[in-house]
Amino acid sequence: MSLLALLLLAAQHQQHEMPAPEPAAPACSPEHAAMGHCTLPEPKAPPAPPPPPAAPPVPSCTPEHAAMGHCTMPVPAPPPPPACTAEHAAMGHCTLPETPTTPGAGNAPPPPAPRVGAADAIFGADAMAAARAQLYAEHGGGTISQVMVDMAEARIGKGGDSYVWDAEARFGGDIDKLAIKSEGEGDFGGRLEDAEIQALWSHAVGPYFDVQAGVRQDFGPGPSPTHAVLGFEGLAPYWFDVEGALFLSDKGDVSARLEGSYDQRITQRLILQPMAEVEAAFQDVAERGIGGGFSSIELGVRLRYEIDRELAPYVGVAWERKLGKTARLARATGDDVSRPAFVAGIRFWF
């Protein structure tokens, strides 16, 4: 036999001797396990879940976060009260603790009154003595003086040109003072129509108002009576300057006057001032051409420019009008009842 035939015979013999492979056992399913054909393997436990991440640290509360409502700042503990010194106790800021008394202490001389002298340590007590004396003189118990010429003007209008003045001077303290008032008018190149001067005791009844009492003397071509005066002067709410008075003449005639004005600042130096004045008599005074009732009214408005606070020229208009019986008496004598006028003048004080 050839070598090829021998190899083929050996291969066939080997195939007959090798056992056939066993079939793979089928996988165990839940249905087979339920019929008892197989046993399901024990299920493995699920892996444990990972631990949650650690919470981030809470940031400290800052004023910016507190302002946005993200947190609330802790309330700081109140600072300890400062120690009470004699200087603070003298100013009413605190109360010194009571010290135990010793027998016979009630007869001991009192300690010196505390005073505030911190500037003495810098400038020296001698240098501060004069300044302290000036301070005490000007604050409480001091005296003041002021002369105010509210109107010094020329009026150009119907019935001829005229001049008018209205002034007041004050001398005294914070509560009581002497007030001297004067006002009047006359024609340029002609006679003085009427004028008056008052000397009054002025007493403060509050921060803004004074009551006044004194005498008034009239001047002019006609009768010049003397009057007793009782009035008031002050600053009303909304910054209205008001003034009023009752007058009792030496002939028994009673009259009254009420006036007011208001400073409307357009700028710090330009001021518009409207004003009004009304007079009344409680009876007829024929020798002075005054009838009972409201006798006259005056309205005006002036625009002034303050070169300094103490000096202010102005221009404006004014209108005078006699009323009631006084107007009828004026017509009977040929006098003007109504007098509008352009005014120019100066206001100053010192």
Does 278 fall in a domain?
Answer: yes
Q: Would residue 328 count as lying in a domain? A: yes
pLDDT of residue 298: 97
Mean pLDDT of 264-288: 95
Strands 209-219 and 311-322, bridge-based pairing? unpaired
What would the DSSP string read from start to end of 150-174? EEEEEEEETT--EEEEEEEEEEE-S
Q: Please state, for a pLDDT cut of 70, what percent of the chain lies above it.
A: 82
User: Model-level pTM?
Assistant: 0.62
Q: Tell the burial category of 341 from Cβ atoms under 10 Å away from its Cβ (0-12, 13-18, 19+).
A: buried
What pLDDT sits at residue 296? Answer: 96
In a domain, 325, yes or no: yes
- Asked, for residue 49, whether it belongs to a domain, the answer is no
Do 298 and 322 meet the contact criterion of CB atoms below 8 Å apart? no
Query: How far, in Å, CA of 267 to CA of 269, rounded?
Result: 5
pLDDT tens, position by position, 74-120: 777 766 666 777 777 777 777 777 665 555 556 777 787 676 678 88
- What is the span of the domain harbouring residue 306? 144-349
Residue 161 lies inside a defined structural domain of this protein:
yes
Distance of alpha carbon 88 from alpha carbon 179, whole angstroms: 41
Q: Is the pLDDT of residue 297 over 80?
A: yes
Contact indicator for 222, 195 with CB cutoff of 8 Å: no
Residue 117 lies in a domain: no
Q: Tell me: the pLDDT tens digits for 301-347?
A: 999 999 999 999 999 999 999 999 999 999 988 888 999 999 999 99
- With vertex at residue 58, the alpha carbon angle to CA 56 and CA 61, rounded to the nearest 5 degrees, is 150
The structural domain count of the chain equals: 1
pLDDT band at 38 (very low <50, low <70, confident <90, very high): confident
pLDDT attached to residue 264? 97
H or E segment and range at residue 138: helix 125-138
Q: Which CATH number belongs to the domain containing residue 261 in this structure?
A: 2.40.160.40
- The pLDDT of residue 244: 98
Q: Write out pLDDT tens, residues 229-260.
A: 999 999 999 999 999 999 999 999 999 999 99
In a domain, 138, yes or no: no
Q: Is the pLDDT of residue 59 over 70?
A: no
- Residue 6 forms part of a structural domain: no
